[in-house]
């Protein structure tokens, strides 16, 4: 069993702590946490055994998980590599990968780093939002695996296995492009849906009374942390801007057909949209029976 350091004891770092302890992967978990209130919560919830300053934590740990907003990770990762002891491994778990990989591309200890993105989360944040089993059955992406040492990769994969994740490999730019569409865009659509409704429905009482479970589901991500998502949008602006433009163009087409009273065309768009059901439910992946 290892001594694991978790930098950032929020939803993601905290949920990992729960599973790593339960899975007997970590004998000791050290938190590094700049917010005093989060540090106190992480200790009180038993997520970490101690909260220590960065240098001290890194000197003890053989595996470090960097789980802070992506702008802060961009600042901190080079310094962590500077401090990393021989044989120790650091992985990050952020939602953008290209800028971070570029920032440490020429670092002499690059091979001790694994660029990961375990795709899981909720709209909540902070140590008290940590959930056991959050990662179970979900997908982890590793980028630039050829730039990590075999040992570092093996340790990262062992960790993901304890969390119950399967790992796929992608180039960092490819990761950021796909995530723009499949995750970041849906956060924007939800944030802006919430904003629009709040702007128009001045009587909040109406929103509460009239919102069905449908609106609640569509607007759920609008509860997400700006401090986490702002830096993701900033680092993924190029792909996200393309994704958002496509979304706006599709909405304008829907709007045009709505105003023309062209219901058959609207029905066709909705039927096409319905194709998301088997994909989300994984049915499109069912192999065809052999003939």
Of residues 220-249, those binding a second copy (CB under 8 A): 220-224, 226-227, 229-231, 233-234, 237, 240-241, 243-248
Q: Does 213 bind a second copy (CB under 8 A)?
A: yes
CA neighbor of 46 nearest in space, from 130, 115, 108, 123: 130
Q: Does 209 bind a second copy (CB under 8 A)?
A: yes
One character per residue 59-88, x = contact with a second copy (rule: CB under 8 A): ------------------------------
Q: Does 218 bind a second copy (CB under 8 A)?
A: yes
One character per residue 9-48, x = contact with a second copy (rule: CB under 8 A): ----------------------------------------
Choice between 162 and 266, CB closer to a second copy: 266
Instruction: Tell the smallest beta-carbon distance from residue 141 to a second copy (Å).
Output: 8
Q: Does 169 bind a second copy (CB under 8 A)?
A: no
Q: Does 211 bind a second copy (CB under 8 A)?
A: yes
Among 30, 61, 141, 159, binds a second copy (CB under 8 A): 141
Among 9, 112, 145, 194, binds a second copy (CB under 8 A): 194
Instruction: Tell the smallest beta-carbon distance from residue 213 to a second copy (Å).
Output: 7
Contact assessment for residue 184 and residue 243, using Cβ atoms and an 8 Å cutoff:
yes
As given in the structure block, the two tokens for residue 143 are 């980028």
3-state secondary structure the chain: CEEEEEECCCHHHHHHHHHHHHCCCEEEEEEECCCHHHHHHHHHCCCCCEECCHHHHHHHCCEEEECCCHHHHHHHHHHHHHHCCCCCEEEECCCCCHHHHHHCCCCCCHHHEEEEEECCCCCCCCHHHCCCCCCCCCEEEEECHHHCCHHHHHHHHHHHHHHCCEEEEECHHHHHHHHHHHHHHHHHHHHHHHHHHHHHCCCHHHHHHHCCHHHHHHCHHHHCCHHHHHHHHHHCHHHHHHHHHHHHHHHHHHHHHHHCCCHHHHHHHHHHHHCHHHHHCCHHHCCCCCC
Q: Does 132 bind a second copy (CB under 8 A)?
A: no
Q: Does 215 bind a second copy (CB under 8 A)?
A: yes
Give the C-alpha separation, 183 to 232, whole Å: 11
Choice between 64 and 71, CB closer to a second copy: 71
Among 150, 274, 286, 288, binds a second copy (CB under 8 A): 274
Among 99, 121, 130, 172, binds a second copy (CB under 8 A): 121
Q: Does 136 bind a second copy (CB under 8 A)?
A: no
Residues 6+ apart with CB under 8 A from 113: 77, 81, 89, 90, 91, 92, 104, 107, 148, 152
Among 270, 287, 288, 290, binds a second copy (CB under 8 A): 270
Choice between 34 and 206, CB closer to a second copy: 206
Choice between 62 and 241, CB closer to a second copy: 241
Among 28, 107, 128, 138, binds a second copy (CB under 8 A): 138
């Amino acid at each position: 069993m290892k001594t694991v350091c978790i930098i950032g004891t929020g939803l993601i770092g905290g949920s990992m702590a729960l599973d790593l302890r339960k899975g007997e992967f970590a004998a000791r978990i050290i938190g590094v946490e700049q917010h005093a209130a989060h540090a106190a919560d992480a200790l009180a919830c038993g997520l970490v055994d101690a909260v220590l300053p960065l240098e001290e934590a890194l000197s003890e740990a053989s595996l470090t998980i960097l789980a802070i907003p992506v702008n802060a990770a961009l600042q901190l990762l080079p310094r962590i590599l500077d401090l990393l002891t021989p044989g120790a491994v650091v992985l990050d778990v952020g939602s953008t990968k290209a800028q971070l990989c570029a920032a440490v591309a020429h670092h002499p200890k690059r091979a001790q780093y694994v660029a990961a993105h375990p795709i899981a989360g909720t709209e909540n944040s902070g140590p008290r939002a940590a959930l056991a089993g959050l990662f179970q059955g979900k997908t982890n992406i590793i980028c630039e695996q050829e730039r990590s040492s075999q040992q570092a990769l093996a340790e990262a994969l062992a960790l993901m296995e304890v969390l119950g994740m399967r790992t796929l490999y992608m180039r960092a730019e490819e990761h950021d492009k796909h995530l723009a569409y499949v995750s970041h865009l849906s956060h924007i659509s939800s944030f802006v849906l919430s904003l629009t409704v709040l702007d128009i429905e001045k009587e909040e009482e109406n929103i509460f009374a009239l919102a069905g479970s449908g609106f609640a589901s569509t607007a759920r991500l609008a509860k997400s942390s700006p401090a986490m998502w702002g830096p993701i949008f900033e680092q993924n602006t190029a792909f996200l801007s393309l994704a958002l433009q496509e979304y706006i163009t599709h909405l304008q087409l829907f709007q045009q057909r709505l105003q023309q009273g062209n219901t058959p065309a609207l029905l066709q768009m909705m039927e096409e949209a319905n194709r998301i059901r088997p994909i989300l439910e994984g049915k499109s992946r069912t192999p065809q029976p052999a003939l």
